[in-house]
């Protein structure tokens, strides 16, 4: 991914990106039901939002016209954004599983 980031700009570490995804789930996962089944459904719906966003960004990169890949490197390049979203998914999954098992 570093090949897509302009010189002087830094891409956050994987662990920091994953932690951001984890925090996202924890912020929006309020008042979870007490039953495992209902809690699982609520967490799955929340996690599915994060996953769907990352998948749409990855598909955008996959179907991106070849010329776009050769544009000036930037941290907003679709490949970089898809990578960041994928790392958020890893953290979101970890938080969802932790919240599911926490009660």
**Is 75 within 8 Å of 9 (Cβ atoms)?**
yes
DSSP 8-state symbol, 72: P
Question: In terms of pLDDT, which residue wins out, 40 or 4?
Answer: 40
pLDDT at 6 over 80: no
The whole-number pLDDT of residue 2 equals: 63
pLDDT recorded at residue 76: 74
Give tens-digit pLDDT for 15-30. Answer: 999 999 999 999 999 8
Q: Which residues contact 99 (CB under 8 A, 6 or more apart)?
A: 25, 26, 29, 32, 39, 43
The dihedral through the CA atoms of 10, 15, 17, 20 has a sign that is: negative
- pLDDT tens column, 37-77: 999 999 999 999 999 999 999 999 888 877 665 556 676 78
């Amino acid at each position: 991914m570093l090949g897509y980031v302009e010189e002087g700009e830094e891409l956050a570490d994987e662990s920091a990106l994953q932690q951001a995804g984890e925090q996202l789930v924890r912020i929006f996962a309020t008042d979870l039901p007490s039953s495992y089944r209902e809690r699982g459904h609520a967490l799955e719906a929340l996690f599915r939002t994060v996953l769907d966003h990352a998948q749409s960004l990855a598909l955008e990169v996959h179907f991106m016209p070849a010329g776009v890949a050769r544009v000036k490197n930037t941290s907003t390049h679709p490949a970089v954004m898809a990578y960041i979203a994928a790392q958020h998914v890893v953290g979101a999954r970890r938080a969802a599983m932790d919240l599911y098992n926490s009660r």
